[in-house]
Amino acid sequence: MVLTKPRLHRVCCLLQNTSDRLLRIECRALTVLLGWLLLLILLNVVTRGISLPLYWVDEAAVYSVVWLTFVGASAMTRLRMDFSVTMLSDKLTTKSAKLAKCISTAFVFLFGMAMVAMCWLWMDPVGIAKAGFDARVFSVETFNFLYTERTQTLNWPTWLLQLILPIFSLTFSLHALANLLEDLDLVEKREHTEFQMANAEAVN
């Protein structure tokens, strides 16, 4: 099916809107995760202060920070707050700088898609389904022990906590694609003024 120009624009707008909705969800998730991390830290301080430490709190805090990092990195990608080196682009003409920005954003998108592929191979959903979702059978056949491992103190399935990697890969790729569509002038660029952290002055 050939995409006409109006249809292509609608598809691009749909991808951009989906990315922006996802950004709002991520920002709410960051608020929840930050609050949860704060509670864990306070609980750790109190229980250690009364000589009744809860050893699972440390592990829960570590995984909370991991999820915070990946969710935050995904949101920062859409807000264009990721790091960049502008020593070269600052010396280019406006047209050349725009081309360089498009190429850079395209590489970010390709990196995200490579992560999606790696997570697919690593988690191997087809393989675990063929094994009847039996983690032991799957590990024997593939030597992939992801689904048999459990955390040390929480005793949670490791794969459940590591789901953040494929989730991040997908959201990161979607945000990078939305940015690329804006850089290519296929859709109008959005400033996201509702998020103060997207403003450099607010960050400073």
pLDDT computed for residue 197 by the predictor:
56
**Mean pLDDT, residues 175-192:** 88
pLDDT tens-digit series, residues 6-24: 788 888 899 999 999 999 9
User: What pLDDT does 117 receive?
Assistant: 96
pLDDT band at 4 (very low <50, low <70, confident <90, very high): low
Q: What is the pLDDT of residue 204?
A: 35
pLDDT at residue 174 tops 60: yes
Q: Does residue 52 carry a pLDDT above 80?
A: yes
pLDDT of residue 201: 46
Q: Can you tell me the mean pLDDT for 148-161? A: 90
**Where do the H-state alpha helices sit in 50-89?**
55-78
Q: How confident is the model at residue 48 (pLDDT cuts 50, 70, 90)?
A: confident
Q: How many CB atoms lie within 10 A of CB 14?
A: 11
Check residue 190 and give its pLDDT: 80
The pTM assigned to this predicted structure is: 0.85
Please check the confidence at residue 198 and state whether its pLDDT lies above 70: no
Q: What is the pLDDT of residues 59-108, one digit of tens each?
A: 999 999 999 999 999 999 999 887 776 777 777 787 888 888 899 899 99
CA distances from 60 to 30, 65, 68, 178, 191 (A): 16, 9, 12, 33, 35
pLDDT surpassing 50 at residue 2: no
Mean pLDDT score across all residues of the chain = 87
- CA 176 to CA 170: how far, in whole Å? 10
Are 23 and 75 in contact, with CB atoms under 8 Å apart? yes
